[in-house]
Amino acid sequence: MAKSILIVILLISVIAILAYYFLFISDDIEMARDWARMQSIYLRQFNESDSLRIVADSLLFALERLRVQLEALDEPGYYLVIDTRAKKFQLRKGNMIIREGPCGVGKGYHSAGSRSWNFETPKGERHITSKTVNPTWHRPEWYWQEQGRSVPSDFITFSPNMPESERREAYRILSGSEKELVRSVPGALGRYSLGLGDGYYIHYGRGLGRAVSHGCVRVGASDLEVIYNALEVGDPVFIY
């Protein structure tokens, strides 16, 4: 045990020195990125020991944050950074912070009865895959299953030809039980959404500053509008 702790302390010291070198002295960004990735892989072996789990998790998070910062150093345009621990976002352009604020992120593993799901927000570099005005939330089966209920066999639907305002009003006046029979919910995601691939989105939502979502990134309405107007399809999103 004492030997393992000593190894971790030495690793922390070496990592701190090398991190300082790569961030403030070296101009070799590619080497710095590779170094951060290798350290993350190497430290994962310590995560198998309960006694070192907290230390290893903290180191891995610090290394992932360093890796994201290194990846973003040569981005001249707009990009988004999501800190899943602090539950905050930063919209950046080059080295400038254009907008920052709280966000909601995935709540992690969740189970109901014999079923379980991983609702973590995926880490790493992603890119904006789509931009949608007035998106509709299509409720997945887990919406009902995680509440211990069966997926309805019949759904209430709205005509796709209805204006958005009418669809929202039609949904609003439904009773609580009737709303549970609507699979495609208008207005639930806010005015805009930005796709991140694999079913993950940036959209409006409650619970900002908390781990409450099913993997998507939730932001406030005014923040969402700024992000939507700044980012284009293909722009990077760094999540750590």
Helix (H) or strand (E) holding 142: helix 142-145
Do 114 and 7 fall into the same domain?
no
Structurally, how many domains does the chain consist of?
Answer: 2
Do 213 and 118 fall into the same domain?
yes
51 in a domain, yes or no? Answer: yes
- Asked if the model's pLDDT at residue 69 lies above 80, the reply is no
- Asked if the model's pLDDT at residue 41 lies above 70, the reply is no
Question: What 3-state DSSP class applies to 119?
Answer: strand
Q: Per residue in 154-196, pLDDT tens?
A: 999 999 899 999 999 999 999 999 999 999 999 999 999 999 9
Do 120 and 235 fall into the same domain?
yes
Do 117 and 211 fall into the same domain?
yes
Cβ proximity of 161 and 125 under 8 Å: no
92 in a domain, yes or no? Answer: no
Domain ranges, residue 112:
105-239
How much is the pLDDT for 58? 60
Do 63 and 114 fall into the same domain?
no
Measured at the CA of 47, the angle between CA 59 and CA 62, to 5 degrees, comes to 15
How much is the pLDDT for 113? 79
Residue keyed to tokens 């305002």: 165
Which DSSP symbol is given to 150?
P
How much is the average pLDDT of 53-66? 60
How much is the pLDDT for 80? 96
Do 112 and 65 fall into the same domain?
no
Mean pLDDT, rounded, of the chain: 83
Do 60 and 126 fall into the same domain?
no
Residues facing 92 on adjacent strands:
79, 97
Helix (H) or strand (E) holding 172: helix 164-172
Q: What is the CA radius of gyration of the chain?
A: 21
202 in a domain, yes or no? Answer: yes
Q: Per residue in 100-144, pLDDT tens?
A: 999 999 999 888 878 899 999 999 889 999 999 999 999 999 999
